[in-house]
Structure 1
Amino acid sequence: MGNMATEIVAFVLTISGWILVSSTLPIDYWKVSSVDGTVITTATFWSNLWKTCVTDSTGVSNCKDFPSMLALDVYIQVCRGLMIAAVCLGFFGATLALVGMKCTKIGGSETTKARLTVLSGFHFVLSGLCCMTACSIYAHRVTTDFFDPLFVAQKFELGAALFIGWAGSVLCILGGLIFCLSLSEGSSARRVRDGYSRKHPVISLNISCRNCRTYRARLCDRHFD
């Protein structure tokens, strides 16, 4: 029962993390910059992996999609690939977890379900690492440009999407590690049960032998009587 509860906790952590990771991909504010006037903010510039936009003081946004994938900066292409890989790995991990968890009735024998659970944890750990790497690469580029005195273009700061991605990555990695460690707990429990089952037949055999000797002694007594 304890192992099942551990798997449920790990599943909640990983699914929550995967939802955060998946929501990071389309979020607008990967990096943001504001142009302040004397009274109000006159314009807000923001960008993500797919487009760059500007929002004026009236709330009207003008966006421009990145024109060509081949003309993009390398770091944006890398971040796109890592984020898509993170979402796909999380999806496969969730599917394997549903099949391999002990609280479900599918997946085959206990050994097979344990292996599927560990494989699910491995997928979630990879998913979290991919998302964390993508967010870190993007954040490094933003901070490098911001503190570079020779960079004369519009400077940006870290957006909310990066922090959401980091949080989701941590949840995926923690839940995935718990899934992987659940195999060792299950193996220990099986060893205890196997040890008991090996001892139990010996006890039964000893009892049977004693009963047999008692029965033979009674037969001998009756024969001599």
Structure 2
Amino acid sequence: MDPIVEVVALVLGFVGWVMVGIALPNRYWRTSTVDGNVITTSTIYENLWMSCATDSTGVHNCREFPSLLALSGYIQASRALMITAIAMGTLGLVLALIGIQCSKAGGENYVLKGRFAGAAGVLFLIQGMCTMVSVSWYAFNITQDFFNPLNLGTRYEIGEGLYIGWCSAVLAIAGGACLTCSCKMGTEEKYPLPYQPRGTVYSGPAPTRSVAASTYGRNAYV
């Protein structure tokens, strides 16, 4: 695999990991506007951790969700998936920095470095899938409640935090796919051996390029 592709994959995974860290604390996972006069018009927005409200004068108040067990199941699952995504992305970045060919951290054993790169790619894929499932599940519940005619409460819409999460998932999956393809599970490069008659076994050390050149001199082609 081209080292440039590995570097691009590492950058994609890093940007995706940073965007997960931005999306998780973002307050605007879902938003709703309550219309009224200048004083009573307010915006309500929520994320995985708290619910906030602000009015037209700029005054806003936030409160954290009081009980974990009282939350909806999809909110609890989204929390767990997002935290898992950050953990997998962190470990994937460490392995990717060791496994890419242009890094000196893993020495000159390119077979082992390739396995590190492949493992990092799998972790990036897990990060992207966890993020995708989390934000998509959350968005599904928003749209389901919004179009439910029996819902008499506040109707929320998709907020910017979910879009950041979707972009993060796509970048992480793309970077993970590239690193997984760069995994080199084969053996080390073999040196060319000089010509031997059929049936003989060469037990000596691997010849260098100069030995191979001296074996096939200019007179061999005459």
TM-score for both structures, normalised by structure 1: 0.83
Q: Deviations over 1:38-74 (max 9, x none)?
A: 5688100000000011101111111111001111111
Percent identical across equivalent pairs? 42
Alignment RMSD: 2.4
For residue 141 of structure 1, give the secondary structure of its aligned residue in structure 2. Answer: helix
Task: Give the Cα separation in 2 of the matches to 1:208 and 1:54.
Answer: 83
1:201 aligns with 2:194: yes
**Residues 34 and 42 of structure 2 are in contact (CA less than 8 Å); yes or no, is this contact kept in structure 1?**
yes
Task: Give the Cα separation in 1 of the matches to 2:162 and 2:217.
Answer: 73
Cα distance, 1:6–1:70 mapped onto 2, change above 3 Å: same
Task: Give the Cα separation in 1 of the matches to 2:128 and 2:169.
Answer: 4
Q: How does 1:63-212 map to 2 (within 5 A)?
A: 63-108=62-107, 109-183=109-183, 194=190, 197-198=191-192, 200-202=193-195, 208=215
Q: Aligned AA for 1:182?
A: S
For residue 202 of structure 1, give the secondary structure of its aligned residue in structure 2. Answer: coil
For residue 183 of structure 1, give the secondary structure of its aligned residue in structure 2. Answer: coil
Cα distance, 1:119–1:206 mapped onto 2, change above 3 Å: closer
Structure 1 counterpart of 2:200: none
Shift of 1:202: 2.7
For these two proteins, the number of residue pairs brought into alignment is 203
Task: Give the Cα separation in 2 of the matches to 1:160 and 1:14.
Answer: 21
- In structure 2, runs of 5+ residues without a counterpart are 197-210
Shift of 1:3: 1.4
Shift of 1:36: 2.3
Structure 1 counterpart of 2:23: 24
- In structure 1, runs of 5+ residues without a counterpart are 212-225
Task: Give the Cα separation in 2 of the matches to 1:140 and 1:84.
Answer: 20
**Residues 34 and 41 of structure 1 are in contact (CA less than 8 Å); yes or no, is this contact kept in structure 2?**
no
Cα distance, 1:206–1:18 mapped onto 2, change above 3 Å: closer
Q: Which has the higher helix share?
A: 1
**Residues 142 and 157 of structure 1 are in contact (CA less than 8 Å); yes or no, is this contact kept in structure 2?**
yes
TM-score for both structures, normalised by structure 2: 0.84
Structure 1 counterpart of 2:35: 36
Shift of 1:208: 4.2
Cα distance, 1:183–1:67 mapped onto 2, change above 3 Å: same
Larger gyration radius, structure 1 or structure 2: 1
Q: Deviations over 1:3-24 (max 9, x none)?
A: 1111111011111111111110
Structure 2 counterpart of 1:216: none
